[in-house]
Amino acid sequence: MIENKEIKYLNKINSPVDFKGIPQEEMPDVAEEIREELVRIVSNNGGHLASNLGVVELTMAIHRVFDSPSDHIIFDVGHQSYVHKLLTGRYTKMDTLRRSGGICGFTNREESEHDCFGAGHSSTSLSAALGFAISDKLSGSDAYTIAVIGDGAYTGGMIHEALNNCQKDLNMIIILNENEMSISKNIGRFAKNLSKLRTSPSYFKTKKVTGIFLRIIPLIGKPLFKFVLATKKMIKNTLYGSNYFESMGLTYLGPIDGNDYDQVERLLSEAKKLGESVVVHVKTVKGKGYKPAEQAPDKYHGMSPFGASCAKQTFSDTMGHVITELAQDDDKIFAVTAAMCDGTGLCEFREKFPKRFFDVGIAEEHALTFAAGLAANGGKPIVAIYSTFLQRGFDNIVHDIALQKLPVIMCVDRAGLNPCDGATHHGIFDVAFLSEIPNLKIYTPISNDMLRLCIKHALDEGVPAAIRYPNGCEDERIISEFYGNIQPTDIGIRANFDKKEKISTVIITHGRIALEALKASDMLNNSEHSTGVILLEMIKPYDICAQRICEFISDQVSNIVLLEEEILSGGMGMNLYHKLIEHKEISKKNIHIIAVNDSFVDKRKAGESIYTSAGINAESICSYVLKADTKTMDM
């Protein structure tokens, strides 16, 4: 753990007003202190380091020029808002960053009035900013709206949809923060062309003064101004090519060095004076001021606390290795990702099969329909997307993949509850929305061997499929309980008890929450309630899953608990329940579903586990079973 150094500035900043009271000449010292604290906090807690180090001067300048919370500051994704939090009175709480009951790793409206719009997913900021700016204009407010948008977000379609609807006469500052990275390195035409945009630092002043001068000339002033403007645009486009933002009707300023505090503050001040929608283009260094992060910004983008790493192969690594291995003998296999090559374990595939690897940018919808096109033309595409981001592609899965029965395999990474990143990153909705889609299989491996088998099985089946697995590594207890030293050769269900055993309670589950099921089983067995656990490796088709479960449910079983770490409505429990009660021998038993009770699981007490907060821990299971047994005895 990295300890506190002597703090000169941050512990005195309780609001942006306090920050504005610090003399201008001391800004470099403030920036240095902020960077030291960022490294210390993220080293201890994990989080997004490189992106926050890159926007220190930019965020400082924003808070010097504008007045939060009356002015609205919106950070795209929100992962680079740590400096903003430090300057808005949250320094004393930053040691709780990403911990239960602590500061959120993204912007959060409930956390502070200075977080005017919550985030966690990319490319939403400009749409939200436009909503703020237009409503301010209509209400007569002179407040400014500032959207801080990394260049990676411009690979997402929502940014361009919002640009298409921008109005020139708004108090809106769009800050394009170009650092050539989202999580993996940016790709695509827009990212490549950003570096070609050039404007002299004095451009905005010359343009404004010239415009005023020409327009006041009697009679010919306005026509002359229009002629000069058209001529300037023609010459500029001939020499430099069209400026995308100005072609959308927006004033464009920059680019400038976004890590030069004086330049940034000066340009933001001038942009503010224009009183219209302005794009301010800054270039920053991701990881600035911390050499390891500067040299490997992807490694220091989202990181675990120093010293806290998984020694074994992660599920993401396994997935990437398996499809790379399979692709050596099958040239129809393609890998597709939405700006998450590193996070989803596809770096090996990208290196060995660059022509069959596609990073489409932050565009999940496009990734899925693009994969559908590959599949329709005989390909075997595998799309790796985090569960929380798969939500964005629901229509594409329904309309473009499942309806046409196209063999697209979706590897759903980070499935289940993800405690450190909070509500925006919980993978608790995919089972519910995927379960309602016809023609789609859902695999739920929880060991590396089973993940390998599921990928092969899905490829052989040639149908739309989702293979969901959690963040991190396989768990030794789960492996020993359900697999032992045996490598699985088939996919179905596993039980940690023999069919002949006299079991009174059976807990049926899938995914990492199987650990809570095993803990509950231990507790109940110690209380002389014979309990066993069934682990599901494929949940959909649900009728087949229910049929296999029935083979393990003897006459002695009185209680069946369906346990999952996803939402209750439309989830595994509900779907499986309706299929189980179709079997007469099951319908007479006590069946209870324990799942996330249709909430976002966004509030935790300090020190509380995510399962306890959601009410789906081992104690909850035991409580239900003991009550159910008491009712049975009373009858």
DSSP annotation of 400 reads I
Cis, bond preceding 255 (omega within 30 deg of 0)? yes
Measured N-to-C along each axis, helices 514-526 and 618-634 cross at an angle, to the nearest 10 degrees, of: 50
Tokens of residue 266, six digits:
């000066």
Active-site choice (57, 178, 180, 364): 364
Name the region of 416 (left: φ>0; alpha: ψ -120 to 50; beta: rest): left
In the sheet where 559-567 sits, what is the strand order? Answer: 493-495, 531-536, 505-509, 559-567, 590-596
Q: Is 33 a catalytic residue?
A: no
Q: Is 364 a catalytic residue?
A: yes
Separation between Cα atoms, residue 46 and residue 40, nearest integer Å: 10
Distances (CA, A) of 174 to 15, 187, 392: 23, 21, 24
Distances (CA, A) of 342 to 114, 182, 187, 347: 32, 11, 14, 6
Active-site choice (64, 392, 468, 540): 392
Q: Is 392 a catalytic residue?
A: yes
Tokens of residue 421, six digits:
């990143």
Confirm if 145 and 175 have CB atoms less than 8 A apart: no
Confirm if 428 and 403 have CB atoms less than 8 A apart: no
Query: Is 386 in a helix, a strand, or coil?
Result: strand
Q: Pairing state of beta strands 538-540 and 172-178?
A: unpaired
Separation between Cα atoms, residue 362 and residue 537, nearest integer Å: 30
Separation between Cα atoms, residue 323 and residue 335, nearest integer Å: 8
Confirm if 251 and 277 have CB atoms less than 8 A apart: yes
Q: Pairing state of beta strands 72-75 and 145-150?
A: parallel
* 249, amino acid identity: G
Separation between Cα atoms, residue 548 and residue 544, nearest integer Å: 6
Q: Pairing state of beta strands 441-443 and 538-540?
A: antiparallel
Distances (CA, A) of 481 to 197, 517, 576: 59, 12, 23
Concatenated DSSP letters for 7-34? -SSGGG-SSHHHHHTS-GGGHHHHHHHH
Separation between Cα atoms, residue 81 and residue 277, nearest integer Å: 23
Separation between Cα atoms, residue 566 and residue 573, nearest integer Å: 9
Nearest to 477 by CA among 453, 513, 449: 513
Radius of gyration, CA atoms only, the chain: 28
| Cα-Cα end-to-end distance for the chain | 57
Concatenated DSSP letters for 236-276? HHHHH---HHHHTT-EEEEEEETT-HHHHHHHHHHHHHH-S
Q: Pairing state of beta strands 172-178 and 278-283?
A: parallel
Separation between Cα atoms, residue 58 and residue 119, nearest integer Å: 19
Active-site choice (85, 283, 286, 579): 286
- Residue with tokens 């909705």, as numbered in its chain: 429
Just list the catalytic residues.
Answer: 286, 364, 392
